[in-house]
Amino acid sequence: MPNLSKRITSLNDGGSDGWEVFYRARRMVAEGIAVTELTIGEHDIGTDPAILDAMYEAARGGQTGYAIVPGRPDLRKTVAQRVQDRTGVPTSADNILITPGGQSALFSAHMAACDPGDTALFVDPYYATYPGTIRAAGAIPRAIQTHSRDAFLPDPAAIDTTGAKSLLINSPNNPTGTVYPPATLHALAKLCQTDDLWLISDEVYDTQVWQGEHLSPRALPGMADRTIVIGSMSKSHAMTGSRIGWIVAPAPMIDTLIDLATATTYGVPGYIQTAALFALTQGAALEADIAQPFQRRRDLVLQVLARQNTVTAIPSQGAMYLMLDIRATGLTGEAFANALLDTHRIAVMPGESFGHSAAGHLRLALTVEDNRLVAAVETLCAFAEQVRQAA
């Protein structure tokens, strides 16, 4: 067999992809073992039946052929209006490309922002696909380290931009739940303007804000022409498997990204786009209903954590996760997560899956019903205390 390309064999830089505990838990479930899975950001409620009805009717009505590559004009217009209403930034359909989910949008954004060999910055902890996505685009990933004591917020003054063409941020943040405050965003925007960087803003959790407000950096002075926003229906409308999202960017960039989409994904199925259009027209009430369980569950978990002193939570202002500090046990996040799975059949993601900054932490996805979640966290805390005392 001829050699595989370096591009494809180096996606994980010869290391782990960070998903070992998740894969172990799924194998156990496949073997019939009951596991409480608190690993991935997958809604437990499923997509709203009315959205599925719209998808079904569109497919049965004939929308199963090739769809227009940039996205349906009415869907692009609706997304543009939603963005404009939320941010106050003038936005038209020419600023929107419909993509097969946020992951495709992330790849496309880096393809447009970076030439092969350019450095692309991203904040650690990070969503596990970020480094591989950057490598797939031919760029060189460089992590910006943060600290648990600072709620994992980046320090703009400490960021080295040497050789960099782009900076990727994510607020509300996966895995930490941190919402970037205005002061941080203004400082990051100034950095991008001073050092001529593209700012790629992953905003797929923008409907899940529990404290403060979501601020898109595209809305800051001078940033509309150098900001690329990633959006998705996955989290806001519980449509993870439908694979539909978008890019918001300057119109000339969208024109080039349409060329990329033509050469790669060739668009999103029409019946999926019709379902997304229907979902967006249901307004903010549906989005609030989908988000509300995660805020309630966050509060329930915080009540459990308040009754002990071994496991502490990183302040979480948004998203469907809590980041837990388990360094008092003396174990790494990976060792603790594997032991918890073996001993109690509870699966959580090690902090190390999301970079070096989150070592000694766990990410908890708030994705099972309330009573089961509370019981799992109580067990996790009791196990952490046993480990600490035995150390």
pLDDT digits (tens, 9 = 90+) for 9-18: 888 876 666 6
SS3 of residue 155 by DSSP: coil
pLDDT of residue 7: 85
- 348, 361 in Cβ contact below 8 A? no
For β-strands 361-365 and 321-325, DSSP reports them as antiparallel
CA–CA separation, 351 vs 167, rounded Å?
22
CA–CA separation, 387 vs 375, rounded Å?
18
CA–CA separation, 103 vs 202, rounded Å?
10
The proportion of the chain whose per-residue pLDDT surpasses 90, expressed as a percent, equals: 95
pLDDT of residue 391: 78
Shortest CA distance to 203 belongs to which of 89, 312, 353, 297? Answer: 89
pLDDT of residue 15: 63
- 320, 175 in Cβ contact below 8 A? no
DSSP state of 66: P
pLDDT, tens digit, for every residue of 56-97? 999 999 999 999 999 999 999 999 999 999 999 999 999 999
- Length in residues, the chain: 391
Mean pLDDT over 120-128 rounds to: 96
- 336, 324 in Cβ contact below 8 A? no
The proportion of the chain whose per-residue pLDDT surpasses 70, expressed as a percent, equals: 99
Shortest CA distance to 128 belongs to which of 207, 37, 16, 235? Answer: 16
Examine the pLDDT at 260 and tell me if it is beyond 70.
Answer: yes
- CA neighbours within 13 Å on the CB side: how many for 149? 0
Mean pLDDT over 237-244 rounds to: 97
Top CATH class of 6-46+285-390 equals: alpha beta
Q: What pTM did the predictor assign?
A: 0.96
What φ, ψ does residue 172 adopt, rounded to 5°?
A: -55, 150
Q: Residue 234 is which amino acid?
A: S
- 192, 184 in Cβ contact below 8 A? no
Shortest CA distance to 384 belongs to which of 337, 347, 345? Answer: 337
DSSP state of 299: H
pLDDT of residue 16: 64
pLDDT, tens digit, for every residue of 263-314? 999 999 999 999 999 999 999 999 999 999 999 999 999 999 999 999 999 9
Q: pLDDT-derived band of residue 6, with 50, 70 and 90 as boundaries?
A: confident
Give the largest CA-CA distance in the chain.
64
Token pair 């941010």 in the structure block, residue? 87
Residue ranges matching CATH 3.40.640.10 in the chain: 61-282
Contacts of 187-196 with CB under 8 Å at 24 or more apart are 187/156, 187/157, 188/154, 188/156, 188/217, 189/217, 189/220, 189/221, 189/222, 189/223, 190/156, 191/156, 191/159, 191/161, 191/167, 192/167, 192/223, 192/226, 193/222, 193/223, 193/226, 195/161, 195/164
For residues 362-390, one letter each, b for 16 or more C-beta atoms within 10 angstroms of the residue's C-beta and e for the rest, the string is bbbbbbbeeeebbebbebbbebbbebbee
- 136, 11 in Cβ contact below 8 A? yes
Shortest CA distance to 290 belongs to which of 218, 208, 364? Answer: 208
pLDDT, tens digit, for every residue of 337-384? 999 999 999 999 999 999 999 999 999 999 999 999 999 999 999 999
CA–CA separation, 141 vs 130, rounded Å?
8
pLDDT of residue 11: 87
Gyration radius (Cα) of the chain, Å: 21
CA–CA separation, 249 vs 226, rounded Å?
8
Top CATH class of 61-282 equals: alpha beta
pLDDT, tens digit, for every residue of 213-226? 999 999 999 999 99
Residue ranges matching CATH 3.90.1150.10 in the chain: 6-46+285-390
